[in-house]
Amino acid sequence: MARTQIRLAAVAATAALALGVGAGTASAGSAEIPSGVALYNGLTMLGCQNVDPSMLQVCGGLEALTSDDPAVLTVNPFTTDIVILGAGLFPDGGIRPVLDERLRTGFRLAQEYPTARIIVTGGVPQNGRTEARAMGDWLRGAGVAPWRITEEGNSNSTVQNAQFTDRIFRERGTTGAVVVSTGDHVQRAVLNFRQAVDGRIPVTGVVARG
């Protein structure tokens, strides 16, 4: 199926979810959703977009986030932000392999959705360079337009990544967020971000791949 057809199908599926058709039953990779585009990339319970602390473990166990493109980004690539989470730098300020994986996945999304804005988040400087600055430099070096990139370089944990990034969301009217990270971390990070936005906007995640 051509990429345009896949995206159109994802739009239709998302509209169906918004209208309540099959709500709570669609999941990434299901027969209703074309391969390569995930409705909410693993979301099986709408209630998990507004996560009470008591529901963290339940919601985390229900979702199976993937490397597929989320339909929330396909439907609105203008005010849905791609958020790439930082990881510890080498002592000289260089990028470790785990962060390189996150950046490559974020860059892939940035290329596929050239109007989407990108937020890189992470402090913990090494050799005078924050994770956010290192990520911003990487993306600019890869050819991403500087105006698309916002650096949040004050956070020291995933919870702070979410809280400080939400301030950016509020300031510029973000309507959805796609969190990019590796392995099991993306699952926890998505829940942290959903808590930070308090159900105001949809948040989903993409698992970084090498």
Domain CATH number, residue 74? 3.40.50.620
- pLDDT value for 89: 97
**Containing structural domain, residue 58:** 3-207
CB atoms within 10 A of CB 110: 23
99 versus 18: which is more confidently predicted?
A: 99
Token pair, residue 108, equals: 């892939």
Place 68 in a pLDDT band, splitting at 50, 70 and 90: confident
Report how many domains make up the chain: 1
Token pair, residue 160, equals: 């702070």
Residue in the block written with tokens 């020291």: 156
Q: What is the pTM of this model?
A: 0.78
Q: Kindly give, in sequence order, each residue whose CB lies less than 8 Å from that of residue 157, ignoring residues fewer than 6 positions away.
A: none
Q: Which of 198, 170, 195, 193 is nearest to 84 (CA)?
A: 193
Residue-averaged pLDDT of the chain = 80
Q: Which amino acid is at 54?
A: S
